[in-house]
Amino acid sequence: MGTFFSEPGWLCLTVTALLGGTILCKLKTSPGQVGRKVVCLVGLWGGAYLISLSLFWGLVLFSLLYFVMYTYFSGQELLPVDQKAVLITGLWAVINNAGVLGLPTDGELIPMTEYKRCMAVNFFGAVEVTKEFLPLLRKSKGRLVNISSMAGGVPMQKMAAYGSSKAALIMFSSILRQELSKWGVKVSVIQPGGFKTNISGTSQMWEKLERTVLDNLSPEVQEDYGQDYILSERSFLRLMKTSSDPDISPVLLDVRHAISAQSPFAFYAPGKLSYPWLCFASFSPTGIFDYLSRKIHTYSKKMPRVLSTSNWEDKAM
C-alpha cells in the first residue's frame, strides 16, 4: 500500500494513464482488430505492473513501452487513396473476392465436378487474376488482398470442397507474401466468419445441386446414405441463411485497412467467432476439437440410412 500511494507510485500511475490515453486515441484512427486490442491491453497491464518497480527503471521501461506501442500504431494509420486504383473481382490494389460454395454435404457425396468447380473459382481464379496484375502491383509496390474464409483454417463438416479451395488460397497467399516482400508488395488474407451473402444460392440452385449429387453416386453409396439423408442437407443451408450476420461492415473495414494501412496485417478474421475458432483449431488437441465439432453439428438429426439401422454395428463386426 505504501508503494502505491507514494510519490513515485503516483508518478508512474500518471504516466500509465497518459500512455493509455495516447494509445486509445491512436486506436480510434484505425479499424479495430483483435490483435491490436490485445496489444493495447497488454501495454496497459504492463504499465500497471511496472508501478511496483523503482522509479528509475519504471520510467525507463515506460519510455520503451511507449515507443514500441506508438511505433506499432503509427503503422496502422491509413494512407491517402488519391490516384490509386483498386480491382475487386467477383491496380495499386487487387482484391480477389469471387467464390462459390456448392452444396454442403459429406465429402464422399460431393461430385468431382463440384470439387473442380470450387477449386476453379475459389483458387485457380484468384491465382490467375493475381498473376495477371502482379507486374503492375510490383511497379506500384501495391497490395494484394485475397478473401478466403474461416473454413480455410477450421475443418468444418460438409465443407470439404469449399474449405479445401479456401485453404489452398491461404497457402498461396502466404507464400506470395514472402516472395513479394522484396518488391514492396504487401499481401493480406481475409478469413471472414459467417456473414450473410448470396454465396449460399437459391432454392433452385439447391435442387440442381441435389440432383447432381444423386446422379453421380454409385448404387452402393446411395444405398448406404439414403436419399432422405442427402436431401436433408438443405437444413445446413437454411441454418447458414438464418445464423449469418447481415452486417458485413467488419469485413469492409478489414479490407479497407488491408489496402490502405501503412503496415497491414497478414491475416484478418472479421466476425464474432472467426478469430477464436481459428485459434482453437490451430492450438487445441485434435480429439477435443473433433468432439466439440460433433456437438456443434447437431443441426440435423438425420443419419445415413445404414447407420440408423440397429444391426449396423453387428454387420460391421
Residues known to be catalytic: 162
What cell numbers appear for 214 in the block? 444423386
The secondary structure of the chain, three-state, reads CCCCCCHHHHHHHHHHHHHHHHHHHHHHCCCCCHHHHHHHHHHHHHHHHHHHCCHHHHHHHHHHHHHHHHHHHHCCCECCCCCCCEEECCCCEEEECCCCCCCCCCCCCCCHHHHHHHHHHHHHHHHHHHHHHHHHHHHHCCEEEEECCHHHCCCCCCCHHHHHHHHHHHHHHHHHHHHHHHHCCEEEEECCCCECCHHHCCHHHHHHHHHHHHHCCCHHHHHHHCHHHHHCCHHHHHHHHHHCECCCHHHHHHHHHHHHECCCCCEECCCCCHHHHHHHHHHCCHHHHHHHHHHHCCCCCCCCHHHHCCCHHHHHC
Please name the residue that has the C-alpha cell 452402393. Answer: 220
What cell numbers appear for 185 in the block? 508488395
